[in-house]
Amino acid sequence: MNTKKEVELEELAKEFAANKVSAAGVSNIVLSRSGARRCLWFIAVMSCITFMGYMTVKVILEYLSYPKVLIIEDEILHKLPFPAVTICSLNPISSHYIKDTSLKKILDLKQIQKNFTAEVRNASVREDCLRELLCEWSWFEEKCNCVKNPCLTEYCLAQNSSQCSCLWSFCENDVLKVNGCRIVYEGGDKICLCNGVSSGGDDDDEEEDYFMQEYYRFMELIDAIDHHEVKELIRLIKSSGTHDLVDMDEALQPTTKELYQYGVTFDSLVASCTFEGARCHRENFTVLYDPLYGKCYMFNFVGNDETGSEKPIDIQTYGSMSGLQLLLRVTDENALDLLRREIGARVVIHDPHILPFVAEYGVNIRPKDMTAIELSYSKIERLTKPWGSCSDHYRMSNDEPYTVLGCEKHCVFRAMTEECNCTMRHLLRGAVLNKLRPAFPLCNVSVLEQRFCSEFVMENIDTYREVPECDCRSPCSEAVYSYTVASSKLNENYYKTAKAIRTLNFDSEGRIKYMNYTHTKSMLGVKVYFNSFLVSSQKEVPSYSWETLMANIGGNLGFFMGLTLVTFLEIAEFIWDFILTACRRISSNRKRDQGDRFPYDETEKTRKRRGSF
């Protein structure tokens, strides 16, 4: 009986392979006349199945790599949203209020400095220093600094840790010859080879004595000045590790409260404003309180992109005579020499819905220049996971619109406030509302503990990247205002004449008069406009879709084995019939076994009953 069922299953499989399955070559394995042909067909079919599996796995892995392409399309629109334009003065504190701020010490230093004697160094001293190859002249210190190691000079190139190759003057010139340098020949080349000299022993003692003498002279100098705040300011400047005082910038800045309270007013900064041929007023600007530049003014800022909020202004013309035109007035010279290294104004172009990053983006404009800022508009759409890693968050944890730089700043700000309980000025964001005091105090660089703590956080900021707030990625959708800048000299006589004509009037005696131009401030011009309405759209799209994957898999199956979707239905039907046949065989075997045991059990029971009777 078992043999009969096994034959039945074998016949079922042969019938399926020979007549029912629609796969190329499979029927030949069963129907071929000779065994050799059946073996050859079996090898051929298995080879095709192997290659088919390889190609199918390959296309699946290619799909799982999630490739993408960037599609760039250009289109011309009839109007475009005008960006927000932020203007700031590079002299953030009005000169009228300097005496009411912490900057008064810089003003006092300037007054005390007038009592000092200015010395002019003899030019021959500098010339004698420059003749020595091992010496250099320091302009900020007005002294000659010499070294004993020739490898530390600009005339040598290091060969290894102890030797360097130098100019031939170090070896051949009788006047400039340096000890430890010699002529050597390497591969036919003539080289002046010098030994590096490391100071030690007596040289270290000499340097220590020199620094002690300089320290005592510095203390005598400080004691000779009566003004306490000026003393501390001089001590701070002389202890700076850089000549341009970059490491002491924070200590020379006014407080944020002073910047917000005594910043430059709109009327003192903006002399004229025109947008699309119409005059714009103070009401068209929003005040930005920036922690570094003080009071700035934003044109066309509409705030967060929320339902019911204002919409940015749309502009329908382009070219240099359109857009926004500003005439600003700035001081030629800062009242405080140590407040800023630049003179003029700063202009930032940004999205109307996002507060600007004044310190990071924007351009500086110098006085007596007319600067043209030509705009171009583009849209960028990026893919999220699994094709890309863009961020689809529209808000950050501090409820500000999401930007990559804003995310980075917030990450470092959070790490520094947690570790040091203070923050740096450049980590603060500008605010529309007047927040006179930040949530955390600014780190004082003159306090070593806070200075070292802030430097430690900045050097080890990568250790905080695991925090979700520090997962800063590019936004999935972004509008970008690109610009180019060109400058020319401002024709001040044009505006002088315009002012003279506009102020024509009669005096008390009936004579015609006009208001003369005052030179207390210099003018600078700014023009912001679109150079065209050509919009560039950059969009990421998947280069390997799910439909393409199905088509490639189907192509592999059809090319190698002639398989279709119907073939898999046939295989499913065969598996179902095979399982049913096998189940019927198991069920019949079980019944037969039970039938064989029943007569035996009945005979035993009859025998027992008879014996007991």
DSSP 22-57: --TTHHHHHH-SSHHHHHHHHHHHHHHHHHHHHHHH
| pLDDT level of residue 278 (50, 70, 90 thresholds) | very high
Which of 29-38, 79-88, 350-359, 446-455 shows the lowest per-residue confidence on average (mean pLDDT)? 29-38
Q: What is the pLDDT of residue 347?
A: 96
Same domain, 399 and 472: yes
Q: What is the pLDDT of residue 283?
A: 92
Residue 339 domain-assigned (yes or no): yes
| pLDDT level of residue 12 (50, 70, 90 thresholds) | low
Same domain, 460 and 558: no
Amino acid at 339: L
Q: How many domains does the chain have?
A: 2
- 590's enclosing H/E stretch is helix 565-612
Residue 597 in this model has a pLDDT that exceeds 60 = no
Residue 317 domain-assigned (yes or no): yes
Q: Among 479, 506, 529, which residue terminates a domain?
A: 479
Same domain, 378 and 475: yes
Q: What is the pLDDT of residue 201?
A: 45
Residue-range definition of the domain harbouring residue 450: 76-101+248-479
Residue 1 in this model has a pLDDT that exceeds 50 = no
Report the length, in residues, of the chain: 613
| pLDDT level of residue 231 (50, 70, 90 thresholds) | confident
Same domain, 304 and 382: yes
Same domain, 29 and 81: no
Same domain, 427 and 331: yes
Residue 600 in this model has a pLDDT that exceeds 50 = no
Q: Among 479, 514, 538, which residue terminates a domain?
A: 479
pTM of the model: 0.76
Residue 461 in this model has a pLDDT that exceeds 90 = no
Give the span between the Cα atoms of 270 and 296, in whole angstroms.
11
Residue 153 domain-assigned (yes or no): no
Residue 298 domain-assigned (yes or no): yes
- 130's enclosing H/E stretch is helix 123-131
Closest-CA residue to 525 (of 308, 274, 282):
274
Residue 592 in this model has a pLDDT that exceeds 70 = no
**Residue 293: φ, ψ to 5°:** -105, 5
Q: What is the pLDDT of residue 609?
A: 45
Residue 197 domain-assigned (yes or no): no
Amino acid at 548: T
Same domain, 452 and 555: no
Residue 311 domain-assigned (yes or no): yes
Residue 279 in this model has a pLDDT that exceeds 90 = yes
| Span 523-579, pLDDT tens digits | 999 999 999 999 999 998 888 877 787 877 777 766 666 666 656 666 666 677 667
Which of 109-118, 485-494, 602-611 shows the lowest per-residue confidence on average (mean pLDDT)? 602-611
Q: What is the pLDDT of residue 13?
A: 59
Same domain, 43 and 96: no
Q: Among 456, 479, 502, which residue terminates a domain?
A: 479
Give the span between the Cα atoms of 354 and 233, in whole angstroms.
38
Same domain, 277 and 321: yes
**Residue 380: φ, ψ to 5°:** -130, 130
Residue 216 domain-assigned (yes or no): no
Residue 560 domain-assigned (yes or no): yes
Same domain, 410 and 552: no
Same domain, 310 and 452: yes
C-alpha distance across the termini of the chain, in Å: 41
Same domain, 263 and 339: yes
